[in-house]
Amino acid sequence: MALRIGLIGVGRGRMVQLLGRRRDVRFAAVCDPVLRSRELRERVLAEMGAAGASFAAAYADFDRFLCHEMDLVVIASPAPVHAVQSVAVLRSGRDVVCEVPAVMSLGEAEELVAAVRETGRRYFFAENCCYWGFVRAWTAILRSGRLGRPYYAEGDYIHDVRSLMRDDSGEPTWRASLNPVRYCTHETGPLFDMLDCRGTTVRALATPSWVAPEFPAPDAGAALLTTSSGAVVRLLACFKNAMEPAYHRYLVFGTGGTLETRTTETLTLATFEDIPHLQGRVSLPLGTALRGQGSGGGHGGADAAMLNDFVDAAIADRPSPIDVYRGLDYSLPGVCAAMSCENGGIPVDIPDPRHFPARARGNKSGTEEPPCTSAECPPGRGRSSG
C-alpha cells in the first residue's frame, strides 16, 4: 500500500511536490491555519495538485487534520510549534518529518524524545544541507584520513530575511524575534557529520538589533562550541544584512590539511600537508548537487534526496537516516547558545539526548493526549490512537 503523506504548513512544505513522481506515495491531507475558507482550501489543493501533489483534503484546524488517515506527516510550520506538533503527530501513531530546528527548549527536547521512545514511531529530522554533494564529499575525504585529525571548523549562514519578518497583514512573524543562533542546524548538521561528533558545550553572544530595530531579533549571533571529538567549532548566523546573495560557508582544519568553501555554489578550496609542493590552495569541483542526481528540486537537489531517503526508510521499515537523537544533536547547540547569550556568554553544557532519563507514565510526557472529539475522526485513528 502507498505511504499516505500529510503536510503541516503550506509554505516551505510545498517541497513535498518533489515526491510527486513516486508511485508508492499518496498525498493525504494538508493543514495550515490560512486555509480557513473553502475558496482558499480549493485553491491550494488545485495549485498543489497541478504541481504534482494531489492532496485529498485541506484543513485549517490541526485536531481535525490529525483525524485524517495518514502514515507520515511532514511538519513545515513555524519553528516555535515544531516540537508540540511533532509530539502530537507521534502520539497519534504517525511518523514525522520535521523541518529545522527541532525544538526551542530543553524541555521540548525531552518531550520529543519521550514521544519517540513511547510510541516507537520514526522521527526524521529534515536537515537538507546534510545531503549536499560537497558535504558528502568532504565527509568522505575526512573519513579517508586524508585531512588527518580535524581540530577546528567554522559554519556561517548569512541570509537577509527581513522581508520574512512580517506577514502579509504586517504582523511580525516568528523570525522577527528569533535569536539567529537558534537557527544553527544548517551548519551543525554538515559539520557534526563530517567530524563525526556532537556539541558538548557552547559559549555564545548575540548582537543588538541595530540593522532593523523594529524587529527585536539580534542582527547576528556567534557561538563557540567544544565537541565530543575534541575539535572546536565556530558558528555565525546573521539574518539582517545587505549581503546578496545569501550564503552558507564552511571550513574545516585538520592536522593533514584544510577544506573551505565560501558559498555552496563555488568550488572547495583545499590544502593537503602530504602534497607540500602545491602552489597555494587547490580547487576541487564540488557543488551542492549529489553525483547522479543533477540539481533538480530545491537546494541543489538536496531537498529531493533527503525526502526520498526518508520515504524509502519509512516504506522499508528502516531506521531514520537523521533520527530524533541526531536531530537534537544538530538543534540543541542553538537552544543552549541562546541560553548562553541570555547569560552574558557563559558556557552552557549541551546535553546528549540519548541520555535523557526515561519518564514515568502519567507525568506530562507520559499522559495520553485527550481523545479527539471530532465526529469525523475514524475509529482507531486520530489523537486517541497513540
Ligand X SMILES: NC(=O)c1ccc[n+]([C@@H]2O[C@H](COP(=O)([O-])OP(=O)(O)OC[C@H]3O[C@@H](n4cnc5c(N)ncnc54)[C@H](O)[C@@H]3O)[C@@H](O)[C@H]2O)c1
Q: 40-66: string of b/e by CB count within 10 Å (b at 16+)?
A: ebeebbeebeeeebebebbbeebbbbb
The C-alpha atoms of residue 213 and residue 135 are separated, in whole angstroms, by: 35
Alpha-carbon gap, residue 25 to 18, rounded angstroms? 11
> Which residue is it, cell 488545485?
46
Nearest to ligand X of 173, 241 (CB atom) = 173
Residue 120 CB, shortest distance to ligand X, in Å, is: 25
CB of 100 to ligand X, least distance (A): 5
CB closer to ligand X, 100 vs 141: 100
Which of 180/257 has CB closer to ligand X? 180
Which of 76, 335 has the CB closer to ligand X? 76
Beta-bridge partners for 307: none
**Nearer residue to ligand X within complex by CB, 62 or 215:** 62
Residue (128 or 179) nearer to ligand X, CB: 128
Task: Answer whether 254's CB lies under 8 Å from 150's CB.
Answer: yes
Q: How far is the CB of 77 from ligand X (least distance, A)?
A: 4
Helix (H, G, I), strand (E, B) or coil at 108: helix
The Cα 220–Cα 200 span in angstroms is 22
- The set of residues, in sequence order, having a beta carbon less than 8 Å from that of 379 and lying 6+ positions away, is none
Interacting residue ranges for ligand X, rule: CB under 6 A: 8-12, 31-34, 62, 76-79, 81, 99-100, 128, 173, 299
Nearer to ligand X, 36 or 143 (CB): 36
Residue 44 Cβ vs ligand X, minimum distance, rounded to whole Å = 9
Of 157, 158, 221, 160, give the one whose Cα is nearest residue 191. Answer: 157
Smallest distance, ligand X to C-beta of residue 13, A: 7
Cα(189)–Cα(312) distance, integer angstroms: 21
Q: Which residue is nearest to ligand X (CB)?
A: 11
The beta-carbon contacts of 298-302 under 8 Å, at least 24 apart in sequence, are: 298/15, 298/18, 298/128, 299/128, 299/129, 299/132, 300/132, 300/133, 300/264, 301/131, 301/133, 302/128, 302/129, 302/130, 302/131, 302/132
- Smallest gap from Cβ 317 to ligand X, in A, equals 26
Whose Cβ is closer to ligand X: residue 76's or residue 194's? 76
Q: How far is the CB of 293 from ligand X (least distance, A)?
A: 17
Residue with Cβ nearer ligand X (46 or 275): 46
From the list 44, 53, 61, 49, the residue with the least C-alpha distance to 15 is 53
**Residue closest to 130 by CA, chosen among 75, 203, 195:** 195
Shortest spacing between CB 177 and ligand X, in angstroms: 12
Pairing type for strands 57-59 and 25-31 reads parallel
Q: How far apart are CA 289 and CA 132, in angstroms?
A: 6
Least distance in angstroms from the C-beta of 62 to ligand X: 6
